[in-house]
Amino acid sequence: EVCEKGAMSGHNVSHSNRKTNRVWAPNVQNVRVLVDGRPQRMNVCTRCLRSGNVQRALPTKSNVEE
């Protein structure tokens, strides 16, 4: 939802060069991020997580097991 990544399509190519359709899915994780200062669950690609394009929300007391 941050960088609008989607699935890409292409072919599996066998040794005999037969082609069948396939889909590559992006590495998208459902994480809690801060949006306008409030935590919200979003689907974020791992590149955006690594590069710091989103700010992760700290775990709340109810989410932390004691």
Residue 27 lies in a domain: yes
Residue 66 in domain: no
Q: Residue 26: give its domain's CATH number.
A: 2.30.170
What is this structure's pTM?
0.68
Q: How confident is the model at residue 64 (pLDDT cuts 50, 70, 90)?
A: low
Does 19 reside within a domain?
Answer: yes
Paired with 34 in beta bridges are: 39
Q: What domain count does the chain have?
A: 1
Q: Which domain holds residue 40?
A: 8-51
Q: What is the largest CA-CA distance in the chain?
A: 57
Q: For residue 3, what pLDDT band results from cuts at 50, 70 and 90?
A: confident
Least confidently predicted of 10-14, 27-31, 62-66: 62-66
